[in-house]
Structure 1
Amino acid sequence: MTHRQRRFAATTRTLFKIATTSGVLAGAALAGAAPAGAASGAGRISSGVSYRQFDVPAAKGTVHAHLLTVDLTNPHVRVDLLHPDAVAARAQVSAMADAAGAVAGVNGDFFNITETQHPGVAATGASVGPAIAQGRLLKAAVPTAQRFGPSLPPGTDTTDVLGVGVDRRARLDRLTLVGTVRTPDGNLALRGLNQYALAQDSIGAYTPAWGTVSRKRATCGSDTSRAAGCSTDTYEVRIRDGKVVATSATPGSGAIAAGTTVLLGREAGADKLRTLTKGERVTVRKWMMTSASRIPYRFAVGGYPVLRDGQPLAGLNNTTSAVRTAAGYTTGGHQLLLLALDGAAAYRSGMTIAEVADEMRELGASDAFSLDGGGSTTLVARTAGAKTVSVLNHPTDSPERAVANGIGVFWKP
């Protein structure tokens, strides 16, 4: 976006903010009937959480944007991960928000949505990057070559996250899994946790949080290609109460019992697991190493950065436009911005990632992060007097797409 376009956009936002204090945005008429509960173009969701919508000029036409502004210094407000009951599952943002009691939210990370390259292998629905909910680590990142989504900007990878620490500040960071499998013959490196794809020659751990979906997808693809075939050299070890209780030459499926961890190895990792026998003592230890902060995270979600310290990342795509979801923060991480574009036909031309970075900067963000877009882009919030959320944008998918996770905004008196 040029300086002239940015200046025009700022003027447009000001005009629309004034226009919406007493009714529906003029731009909403272009999109057809507004979603239920979306009668007001701006307003307070709760103390510390506000919503507004506005038009933004983009290279391929005007887009309509929906914005949640969250005051993380407000003691009644918190942000956390919205997610289904299992890592390998999908649910609609509105359903996840209502189930968790959130007052607002947006969709989250990119995810394993299809498996056309591996016939007979089921898509897991699991997200690409790390995920932390209520301070609990749910999963780690898949190898970068195995991610789903648009090409990453130079210098970024699947370990990038947007998180909020126990100090209530938002940050961009990287979360890398560090883990060991302690055996009678020594320690083995653990390189995966509840992931739909494992690095070649590695060992990954699967906990009850994974769900019931087959773990076979984790042995497909390679460190350089998501489309590479599935490994035939695999091995699983089931550990309960610190002891090996079962082994298998093929990846399994079904629920993992409480207190149980399944170790899955491929290639050299499988060879190492074959040395374990029933009854042997095995201990699995895992934690996440951060790159930017030593503050523990209460919440973290995957995606990729587009703006750092007020500057767009080098190499951002400026040719492919799409409906987008993004998050960013201002005032040293004390205010969170959640942006979702409208997918109605009148606005579906969307924005490029470079335009998204510029727009987040115009909104005051110092740092910003791209989340999944297209049919996944969804923004929900509770309107005055409502006990459930409403979808406030027009998702391009109908009905609302089921996604891997989201960012939930919570308010408690």
Structure 2
Amino acid sequence: MTVQKQVGMGALACALVWQLVAGTTVYAAGPTLTLSSQETITSGAIMKNYVWTTTRSNKDVSVNANVVEVDLTNPNVKIDAMAGTKNQFTKNQSVLGMVKDTGAVAGVNGDFFNTQAEGVPEGAQITNGQVMATPAKISGLYSFAITKNNQPIIDILDFQGNVTAKDGTSFELGGVNKTYYWDDNDVPLIADGLFLYTSAWAMTQRAVDGTHVPTEALIQNDIVKEIAVDTNVKMIAPADGYILRGSGLAREFIVNHLKVGDKITTKYDMVPHDASKTYDWKNFKMLIGGSTLLVDDAKPSYFTRNIGDFSGYSPRSRTAIGYSKDMKTAYIITSDRSAGSAGMTLPELQQFMIGAGVWKGMVLDGGGSTQMVSRSLGDFDPKLVNKTENGNQRSVVNGVGVYSTAPKGDLKGLILKGQNILFMNEPSTYQFKAYDDYYNPISVEGIVPQWSTSTTNGAFKDNVFTPAAPGKTQITAKSGKGSASMDVEVVGRDQITAMTFSAGAFSVTEGGDFKLPISVTTRSGVTRDLPAASATWELSGIKGSLKDGILHVDSASGSQAAQVIARYDGYSTMVTLPVGREKIWYDVDKFAVMTTGDKYPAEVVSSVNIAQDNGNKNIEIAYDFTKGTGTKAAYARFNGTSGAPIEGEPEFISARVFGDGSFNWVRAEVVDANGVTNLVSFTENMNWTGWRKITADVSDLKFPLKIKSVYVANPANGQDERAAKGKINIDDISFIYKGQLASLPKNTVKLTVNKKQVTLNDKPMTLEQAPTIVNDNTLIPLRFVTEALSGSVKWDEKERKVTVIRGDKLIDLWIDNADLLVNGQRVTAEVAPKIMNNVTMVPLRLVSEKLGFKVGWDPKNYGITLE
């Protein structure tokens, strides 16, 4: 999230006080805060992961948030500000890049910045005690600092400075390493301003706004070395000097009062906005700027800036920083708006920060800029730990880093990594990491741990464990003082409560490939996908093949359904998939409709043309969203404004799209039977390049449908985080129609308890074994009833198991065992199946209802009707 201007004052947030006890959930006036996990990063720094839940518009939402807690009293850790590439401004990069560049063990993005400018923070920055930027002359902007005594400060700092020429003339200094910006009255301060630039500014141009022509002076050791009138000095400022840049009145000062060879005096100061306070900023260890104050005295602060300027009342990803009441702990905070995490408004962020322990805190840049990076215990390489708002790691101007200052310690512990749920004969590699007395990583090169298990149901070869039998075991690795163990469960049939296909409901089409993942849930409540190679597979109803869990349909001619059965250790599950139909509607090489370009708003530049890719024609939509305001779009319209009718009732619309990695949206305008135009999203994050088939659901719309357009969109919210120029290609727009499973024949079976005479569709027949009552449960002859009602029965003599398939239902049951499997779900009957007179008898109510039979009961005559 970035801004170019900040003006005004926000509303007062409501007060809400929380207190967090580690490992518990805190309840306070609606929202709840749960500490889900924590891990030591290094001596003095801990990563805590939270889930924060609240209610919006009478709906429950949850947000994933991360907090790095830094012990400011620990001499083995420090906080510092980072910038760009190799701690230089104007060379923006991701937080991960900055963390790696500077050797940090954790970090987050920092200050707000103007995305259209050179890439410098809006506020002040001190890194390793060196001033890199000074505060902007904008009211209400807070900064976070650490003093030489490791005391945290959050306050507003004002800038004061001037340059005095040899002739005694002085001119006010606007700031150090600032780009162009506006004050609270929307006055561009660069217009008549004099600004100072150090070697931290890594460009030969400074504060370029396209309007104000610079005049610059190079100063070394307080001596004027060069004056460039109405142009810029063609170099980066030297380490022993600086460059003064002036426009308007400041230009006149440089031209009229500075001369090459003159000695000049430059002084500046950063003073508390509150005159009752004093800070020795020249001895600050670090400082980073931000925007509004959020928390003060563990209460929500009033907003010191207009938070509407950076979507403060909308749920977004957020970054913040604060400290505890005793000033011994710093809190570095992110919260996510991503899949499965709802983001936070700034009033919500205030509540979260208080719950996490913040006494005083302020906001840093958020939205698409929010990134948190950390090194896991035992790891050398830091990684992104949050899910970013747009799925990418945005290049930002600066950040806050956490650094280990500890000496090298001795081996303290090991950490094991690997699967804790295994299937029989599934080889699994276990890795280990090591850390020292200061929780910093140790190279495992040369460390050969001793591997062992607590049971004999498997064997190790090097660090690969292969289980041979089901059950629980504990794997242990030892080396010197360090050891680590982890519990492993080897799953067998008796440990499974459910084994189901988890791909959801869909139709298969001829020539298509369909992933069929199988999810296994154990009695201990753990769920894991079954490796495709661990299952045996059966396919019926269509011709095709199964490889690595992917069903390829060669032919579906004349079939209405595909049945796929998977078995593991005698445990079975089945999925029945209707055979659908995919019809290509738009293919430039074969058939299409009249297609024209359109745009919104009028300032957008766009075009629609026919392109070729290896001889295959497609439509190309080129767009330029650099002008105009609000949501912007470039359209390929069909049949002018009328749209094209679509036959039938499709489930999905599909298209092949050549993406440009712009993070823009791709959508279609689909008109329903009520004349309502529905905006159907193929993707809201075009983060790929090259061809990809993408699909959108239209099954909930009212039929018949018309398609008006496909288009590229850049919505207003987060617009600066997507590419403004680009082009995409679209081909093979098709519609997918749902298949229908065949209805079972409507046969009727009538039976009577203790009588062998039955009727099938009123035709009399005689059973070998009459229905009977056992322990108040009626047992019926399984094979006869199933086959009479269009099912099939298979007997496994070795396991004394019966497998029944009827329609889309599969049941496995074992003689004298009350547990049975229904499409992979374990169910327990009141009475186990039994064999009577060589006939398998099963509980009427349970089995008939699981197979989809409709049961009628005549209590007077003990009659049973099945249909």
TM-score (norm 1): 0.79
What is the aligned partner in structure 2 of residue 171 from structure 1? 153
Cα distance, 1:277 vs. partner?
2.1
CA RMSD of aligned residues (A): 2.7
AA aligned to 1:380 is V
The match for 1:43 among 33, 36, 39 is 39
With over 3 angstroms needed to count, the CA separation of the structure-2 counterparts of 1:78 and 1:293, relative to structure 1, is: farther
Cα distance, 1:253 vs. partner?
5.4
Higher helix share: 1
The match for 1:400 among 393, 400, 425 is 393
Mapped contact 1:376–1:397 kept (Cα < 8 A): no
SS where residue 209 of structure 1 aligns?
coil
AA aligned to 1:372 is D
Which residues of structure 2 form unaligned runs of 5+? 1-12, 182-188, 407-867
Cα distance, 1:201 vs. partner?
2.1
SS where residue 326 of structure 2 aligns?
helix
Cα distance, 1:50 vs. partner?
0.9
Q: Deviations over 1:206-241 (max 9, x none)?
A: 111111152142xx4xxxxxxxx7224x42112223
What is the aligned partner in structure 1 of residue 221 from structure 2? 241
AA aligned to 2:298 is G
What is the aligned partner in structure 2 of residue 189 from structure 1? 172
- 1:55 matched to 2:51: yes
Cα distance, 1:9 vs. partner?
6.3
With over 3 angstroms needed to count, the CA separation of the structure-2 counterparts of 1:99 and 1:384, relative to structure 1, is: same
Cα distance, 1:319 vs. partner?
2.9
Which residues of structure 1 form unaligned runs of 5+? 21-40, 115-122, 145-155, 221-228
Mapped contact 1:9–1:57 kept (Cα < 8 A): no
- 1:312 matched to 2:300: yes
Aligned 1:98-117 pairs, distance under 5 A: 98-114=100-116
Q: Deviations over 1:373-398 (max 9, x none)?
A: 01111111111221121111111244
State the alpha-carbon separation in 2 of the partners of residues 404 and 309 from structure 1.
30
The match for 2:251 among 262, 270, 279 is 270
Q: Deviations over 1:11-46 (max 9, x none)?
A: 5999954xx5xxxxxxxxxxxxxxxxxxxx321112
The match for 1:298 among 280, 285, 299 is 285
State the alpha-carbon separation in 2 of the partners of residues 6 and 72 from structure 1.
23
SS where residue 80 of structure 1 aligns?
strand
Cα distance, 1:255 vs. partner?
2.1
What is the aligned partner in structure 2 of residue 210 from structure 1? 201
The structure with more radius of gyration = 2
Mapped contact 1:138–1:209 kept (Cα < 8 A): yes
What is the aligned partner in structure 1 of residue 129 from structure 2? 135
SS where residue 208 of structure 1 aligns?
coil
AA aligned to 1:363 is A
State the alpha-carbon separation in 2 of the partners of residues 89 and 59 from structure 1.
41
What is the aligned partner in structure 2 of residue 325 from structure 1? 319
Cα distance, 1:162 vs. partner?
0.8
The match for 2:140 among 157, 163, 167 is 157
With over 3 angstroms needed to count, the CA separation of the structure-2 counterparts of 1:111 and 1:182, relative to structure 1, is: same
Farther off after superposition, 165-174 or 207-216? 207-216
Mapped contact 1:235–1:250 kept (Cα < 8 A): yes
Mapped contact 2:315–2:337 kept (Cα < 8 A): no
State the alpha-carbon separation in 2 of the partners of residues 260 and 350 from structure 1.
45
Mapped contact 2:220–2:242 kept (Cα < 8 A): yes
State the alpha-carbon separation in 2 of the partners of residues 237 and 306 from structure 1.
41
Mapped contact 1:166–1:297 kept (Cα < 8 A): yes
AA aligned to 2:343 is G
AA aligned to 1:359 is F
Mapped contact 2:17–2:355 kept (Cα < 8 A): no
Cα distance, 1:194 vs. partner?
0.6
SS where residue 331 of structure 1 aligns?
coil
Cα distance, 1:72 vs. partner?
0.5
TM-score (norm 2): 0.39
Q: Which has the higher contact order (CA 8 A, sep 6+)?
A: 1
SS where residue 97 of structure 1 aligns?
helix
Mapped contact 2:33–2:52 kept (Cα < 8 A): no
With over 3 angstroms needed to count, the CA separation of the structure-2 counterparts of 1:52 and 1:274, relative to structure 1, is: same
Cα distance, 1:5 vs. partner?
11
State the alpha-carbon separation in 2 of the partners of residues 4 and 289 from structure 1.
32
With over 3 angstroms needed to count, the CA separation of the structure-2 counterparts of 1:98 and 1:309, relative to structure 1, is: same
State the alpha-carbon separation in 1 of the partners of residues 303 and 364 from structure 2.
17
With over 3 angstroms needed to count, the CA separation of the structure-2 counterparts of 1:213 and 1:342, relative to structure 1, is: farther
With over 3 angstroms needed to count, the CA separation of the structure-2 counterparts of 1:47 and 1:279, relative to structure 1, is: closer
AA aligned to 1:288 is M
What is the aligned partner in structure 2 of residue 374 from structure 1? 367
Mapped contact 1:69–1:336 kept (Cα < 8 A): yes
With over 3 angstroms needed to count, the CA separation of the structure-2 counterparts of 1:339 and 1:269, relative to structure 1, is: same
State the alpha-carbon separation in 2 of the partners of residues 374 and 188 from structure 1.
39
Mapped contact 2:95–2:399 kept (Cα < 8 A): yes
State the alpha-carbon separation in 2 of the partners of residues 15 and 325 from structure 1.
17
Residue correspondences, number:
359
SS where residue 239 of structure 1 aligns?
strand
Cα distance, 1:47 vs. partner?
2.3
With over 3 angstroms needed to count, the CA separation of the structure-2 counterparts of 1:314 and 1:242, relative to structure 1, is: closer
SS where residue 252 of structure 2 aligns?
helix
Mapped contact 1:58–1:350 kept (Cα < 8 A): no
Higher strand share: 2
What is the aligned partner in structure 1 of residue 451 from structure 2? none
Aligned 1:350-389 pairs, distance under 5 A: 350-389=343-382
Mapped contact 1:124–1:213 kept (Cα < 8 A): no
What is the aligned partner in structure 2 of residue 250 from structure 1? 231
Mapped contact 2:25–2:34 kept (Cα < 8 A): no
State the alpha-carbon separation in 2 of the partners of residues 338 and 379 from structure 1.
9
Q: Deviations over 1:158-193 (max 9, x none)?
A: 4x2011111111111223333232212113322211
Q: Deviations over 1:263-299 (max 9, x none)?
A: 1112111111111222222232333223444243211
AA aligned to 2:290 is G
Cα distance, 1:93 vs. partner?
1.0
